[in-house]
Structure 1
């Protein structure tokens, strides 16, 4: 059976230049912190990768802090900025974020609220998943001297809404409030320039770009004070101690370089596939409802997210999978318990609607054949998922 992979937002296959570079570098030995020849050669690989990554992100090499992924980068930025700013000025207890953040963004804020005296301010979003700028302005106007940081993702991982980062930064800059952004989904799909954005910090992850799993970057202005989460050898500006992954960083930088170089052509290609998929899903399942903005400047070109009313999302996912179509049901899973999407509920969907969603995400290996395969099996998958949902309702509620 041919597999049709439509879950690139979860992870995308490594691009060939990054894969080859990764394998080649894995054959070398040397700790980049060691002073002998092998160590110095490994260090040169790390620093070359740092310069390449900086160019791809519109940053200075000294602003690149290597991490194990986007989750670690978000945690370092949010916790580290809060602790540094709160220590310097105890009045700064507020962390302003949004209701649609990835758990790597929203959970650190709520953890700091529960454990370290912070106040997590969760901004609302509209039905399109775009943050309410009026609510942000009101929060900043009323509490500018209490805000430690603002954290808003560049583009949403579930339904692809692109946030107005520049406007958010402009609002914050009036009161010298640092803004962090999770740009994991944005990089490689929309133009991302750290220097031009005015952000204080930004998180990216290699495996969303065609690089290896387990590599990420926190981009942080050199003058930014960040309290470290871990302590050890003092690597990465003493912000993120730990042995440096030369092979991973090397491959990640090449993946980022490739993604940025191919941004315009790939965005156009994926956008065309996206529009075709959306039109054909609407034709095949007339009551399906697109989540987030219509295709265009406010939506990632590779993201298609639908509510399929009355469907058991897990059943739909497994039916598609049995036909070789791999996609995500869009629900978070905590300790094995499926939960409705907090993103969809923040956008005003009911709990049942938020539990009846599917995300189809495109990437560099996606073709028209993948869409054709989806459309061929989609009506059957929806019908069977609705039957499962109906049986569950009958058994539970009578």
Structure 2
């Protein structure tokens, strides 16, 4: 819980899918890199060597959290960069092998994060063919649909890119099965695990993926740093020229402080993952039940609570409600929430995820609400949410008639 500016009103931050607060462990781990371990790891003097040793240690610890080899891990500025890098590299390799007249094919889904979708749009303008797989009403991608798409395209499929967990409705995709399908066709697969890592178990070996993106600020690490796992036998093209950093693939002096914070945060949440996910899922289930019991015109979006839904995420379709007005009213009631994707704030268009789930009626798709809970939420905060969220939804519906 975050204190309000007046220190009187309870204020609950329920927008953790957008970003999480920095953990004490991450902050403590970062401090030495602002004062003592400040040298450039690329140097040859003793201070540089000390920094290089720390960089190596951090990479080993970070890689171990996802059961990867340290050499398979590239440090980036976050999930959006990682997603763009892998998509653009895959398409470019087809062109380099077959010429610029070739049409690389990328297979993705209709509910991906904007960093994937917008990159795909840009690649389409360069001649890439992109197929967007549909999802069912709970937000799940079908292995059969992927198999059919791979059979249809056959040649020059550069990459399959499908998210591990959806940031708006919380659906956890069957990535291991989708990866097996892609590999049966001889095609590489990448997963955007930005919403998953730190919230559910993520093991690159068990998932069977060739590449995986993540971002530190989704699991109590600092903003502006993340990573891209690339399996050792998967070819990649450099992203930034200029130096030998990241094995010559991404030039630029390393962000050691950010990496220390990211590693400390991930190590901590992975050690406590079971306890954290169990705790927050109980709060999520109570909130979902309270909202659905109190308002017949509101329904759950995405999967039913259980093994295939992110433990912290409650999302709803509030019929005849203006979601932006709802978020403002919740803020006034002491609750930070979101509508649609954080990356689409300010847009008056309905969420692409909600539309992909089949909510095409404006009375529904403009009323999407997402509450993403903290994994240390208190019982008092849960009770507050259960009482006030349904009440605010009902009040907002009365005021939404003129805005819809």
Deviation sequence 1:333-368 (CA, Å, 0-9, x none):
659433210001001002522220110112233222
Q: 2-side partners of 1:297 and 1:92: how far apart?
A: 38
Alignment map for 1:6-85 (pairs within 5 Å): 6-28=14-36, 29-85=38-94
More off after superposition, 49-58 vs 359-368: 359-368
Q: Distance in 2 between matches of 1:112 and 1:16?
A: 40
Q: 1:65, CA displacement in angstroms?
A: 0.3
For the Cα contact (< 8 Å) 1:63–1:220, is it kept in 2?
A: yes
2:297 corresponds in structure 1 to 287
Task: Flag the 1:162–1:2 CA change in 2: closer, same or farther, 3 A.
Answer: same
Residues 33 and 43 in structure 1, CA contact (< 8 A), matched pair in contact too = yes
2:322 touches 2:403 (CA, 8 Å); kept in 1? no
1:108 paired to 2:116: no
Aligned counterpart for 1:366 among listed residues 372, 377, 383: 377
Higher mean C-alpha displacement, 237-246 vs 51-60: 237-246
Shift of 1:331: 4.6
Change (3 A) 1:334 1:190: closer
Matches within 5 A, 1:168-179: 168-179=178-189
Maintained 8 Å contact 2:167/2:341: no
**Distance in structure 1 (CA, Å) of the matches to 2:378 and 2:218:** 18
Deviates more, 1:283-292 or 1:95-104: 283-292
Evaluate the alpha carbon distance shift between residue 334 and residue 375 of structure 1 in structure 2; reply closer, same or farther with a 3 A threshold. Answer: closer
- How far the C-alpha of 1:274 sits from its partner, in A, is 1.3
Residues 275-325 of structure 1: CA deviation (Å, up to 9, x unaligned) = 111111111222211011101111111110001111111111111111211
> Given the alignment of the two structures, is residue 128 of structure 1 paired with residue 155 of structure 2, yes or no?
no
Q: In the alignment, which residue of structure 2 is the partner of 1:302?
A: 312
- Indicate whether 1:142 and 2:162 are aligned: no
State the 1:370 CA deviation.
Answer: 2.2
What is the 5 A alignment of 1:239-258?
239-258=249-268
> In 2 relative to 1, CA 68–263 (structure 1 residues): closer, same or farther, beyond 3 Å?
same
Relative to 1, partners in 2 of residues 1:314 and 1:256: Cα closer, same or farther, differing over 3 Å?
A: same
Aligned counterpart for 1:237 among listed residues 234, 239, 247:
247
- Structure 2 distance, partners of 1:243, 1:256, is 22
Mapping 1:116-265, distance limit 5 Å: 116-265=126-275
For 2:333 and 2:187, locate their aligned partners in 1 and report how far apart those are by CA, in whole Å. Answer: 50
Deviation at 1:332, TM superposition (A): 5.8
- SS class of match (1:122): strand
Cα 1:351–1:243 shift into 2, 3 Å: farther
Match of 1:396 in 2: none
Which segments of 5 or more consecutive residues in structure 1 lack a partner in the other structure? 394-398
**2:335 equivalent in structure 1:** 325
Any conservation in 1 of the 2:277–2:375 contact (CA below 8 Å)?
Answer: no
Aligned residue-pair number: 392
Residues 7 and 360 of structure 1 are in contact (CA less than 8 Å); yes or no, is this contact kept in structure 2? yes
- Deviates most, 21-30 or 95-104: 21-30
Pairing partner for 1:382 from 367, 381, 393: 393
SS at match of 1:181: strand
- Distance in 2 (CA, whole Å) between partners of 1:308 and 1:337 is 18
Runs of 4+, deviation exceeding 4 Å: 331-335
Question: Unaligned stretches of 5+ in structure 2?
Answer: 1-8
In the TM superposition, residue 380 of structure 1 has moved relative to its aligned partner by 3.9
2:103–2:129 Cα contact (<8 Å) kept: no
Q: 1:130 to 1:146 in 2, by over 3 A?
A: same
Normalising by structure 1, report the TM-score.
0.94
In structure 1, distance between residues paired with 2:349 and 2:180: 35
Cα distance, 1:22 vs. partner? 1.3
